[in-house]
Structure 1
Amino acid sequence: MAVSFDLFGTLVSVDRPDSPADAVATELASRGVDVPAEFVADYREIQIDAPEGAEVPLPAHVAAALRSRGVSPTDNVVRRAVVAAFDPAVETRPGAVDAVAAAAEHGAVGVLSNCSVPELVPRALLRSDIDRSAFDVIVSSAGCGWRKPDPRAFESFASRLGVDVGSVIHVGDDPDTDAGIEAVGGTAILLDEHSLADVPALLDEVA
């Protein structure tokens, strides 16, 4: 048995830019990039034709939007701008620390988060009240290449722990994404039906 936790909206809450496109544009300009006037509109359009369920890392999306207008900053500049645009204030959600501790009593524990921004998942965890060493693996969609509910996201998580995906219990707040674990034989604990305070008892029941 292993337990995976969604991160944003489940274990932590973070402040998000009101306009991600404008926030990225500001950070690009501060690094000397001549941001095209059309960038905000281009940001909101698909720039990379990826397979269904695949994650496109946000720096790749931003770089493609810039290239479409003849602007080609280095990959490092684009990555730093994206990371800075999403640098978050983090609030640990009530019950998160106890839920993770309870999960650790039953087996391996990890994070499986839909997140296209590099460094955001580990950075958010470091700024939370949760001890990062409590997790045996931390998997983001940008890192594994697939977004929940795609089965390959859950399979990647299980593979990194060396467990069968059907033995994974996934805790998350979004039925549209986090319930995807059930399609591969695992168990979902959804926070639209329960609270984090319920998780320890629910894990005892499943185990």
Structure 2
Amino acid sequence: MAVSFDCFGTLVTADRPTDPAAAVATELAARGVAVPTDWAEAYRERHVPAPEHAEVPLPAHVGAALASRDVEWDGNAVRRAVVAAFDPVVETRRGAVEAVDAAGERGPVAICSNCAVPELVSKTLLRSEIDRSAFDAIVTSTGCGFRKPAPQIFTATADALAVDAATLVHVGDDPTTDGGVTDVGGTAILLAETPLPAVPDRLDEVDA
């Protein structure tokens, strides 16, 4: 059995900026990037065309927003500003460690997470109580290019674990996004029906 877990809202809770545009603006200014006076509006605008469920990495969005206002910057200042703006305090959810351990006893384990910010998932796991080495793969929407419920991200997760997507069991909190695993033939374990502490027993049922 191969198991993947959603990250935010499933294994951990992580605080995020209440005003992402303002948080990014602060970090851009700290790196010498001129922030447009109408930055809040520029941040909200769509600048990078993308098909349904495709993920536009946040640094690409921010860079395009700045370029739309004729702002230039040096090197990787935009990427560094975005990464710094999302620097979460992390709390591991009750039952998370046990659920991941139980999955690891049955086969390979992955993270399958919607996240447009580079490095954020890895940083979050390092700050959690979960052993980072418990995961054989970390697949994010910014890495694979598609957000859940798109089948591509679940297929990428299965490929990373060297299994068929139809055998993947995915644990998550959002029926709309995490439930998308069923579109590739996989099995969804949703926290609304199976609380995290009950996931080990549910894995036994699925594996029976």
Question: TM-score per shorter chain, which class?
Answer: over 0.9
- CA drift of 1:74 comes to 3.3
Change in 2 beyond 3 A, CA 1:36/1:144: same
State whether structure 2 residue 183 is matched by structure 1 residue 183.
yes
Kindly provide the CA deviation profile for residues 114-136 of structure 1, in whole angstroms up to 9, marking residues without a partner as x.
Answer: 00000000000000000000000
8 Å CA contact retained: 1:108, 1:161 = yes
State whether structure 2 residue 203 is matched by structure 1 residue 203.
yes
Partners of 1:126 and 1:182 lie apart in 2 by: 30
**Residues 59-98 of structure 1: pairs in structure 2 closer than 5 A:** 59-98=59-98
Partners of 1:73 and 1:140 lie apart in 2 by: 27
**Residues 132-147 of structure 1: pairs in structure 2 closer than 5 A:** 132-147=132-147
Kindly provide the CA deviation profile for residues 69-114 of structure 1, in whole angstroms up to 9, marking residues without a partner as x.
Answer: 0002135100000000001110000000000000011111010000
Change in 2 beyond 3 A, CA 1:112/1:69: same
8 Å CA contact retained: 1:63, 1:75 = no
**Residues 2-41 of structure 1: pairs in structure 2 closer than 5 A:** 2-41=2-41
Partners of 1:55 and 1:98 lie apart in 2 by: 31
Partners of 2:75 and 2:140 lie apart in 1 by: 20
- CA drift of 1:46 comes to 1.2
Partners of 2:61 and 2:191 lie apart in 1 by: 31
Change in 2 beyond 3 A, CA 1:18/1:185: same
Partners of 1:112 and 1:197 lie apart in 2 by: 19
**Unaligned runs of at least 5 residues, structure 2:** none
- CA drift of 1:38 comes to 1.3
Aligned residue for 1:176, secondary structure, equals: coil
- Paired-residue identity, %: 65
Q: Runs in 1 of length 4+ with deviation above 6 angstroms?
A: none
Match for 2:196: what amino acid? L
State whether structure 2 residue 158 is matched by structure 1 residue 158.
yes
Give 1:193's aligned residue.
Answer: 193
Kindly provide the CA deviation profile for residues 43-90 of structure 1, in whole angstroms up to 9, marking residues without a partner as x.
Answer: 112110012111100000000000000002135100000000001110
8 Å CA contact retained: 2:194, 2:202 = no
Partners of 1:164 and 1:201 lie apart in 2 by: 23
Partners of 2:12 and 2:112 lie apart in 1 by: 13
Partners of 2:38 and 2:71 lie apart in 1 by: 12
**Unaligned runs of at least 5 residues, structure 1:** none
Match for 1:91: what amino acid? E
Partners of 2:32 and 2:128 lie apart in 1 by: 32
Partners of 1:153 and 1:188 lie apart in 2 by: 14
8 Å CA contact retained: 1:170, 1:178 = yes
Q: What is the root-mean-square deviation of aligned Cα atoms in Å?
A: 0.8
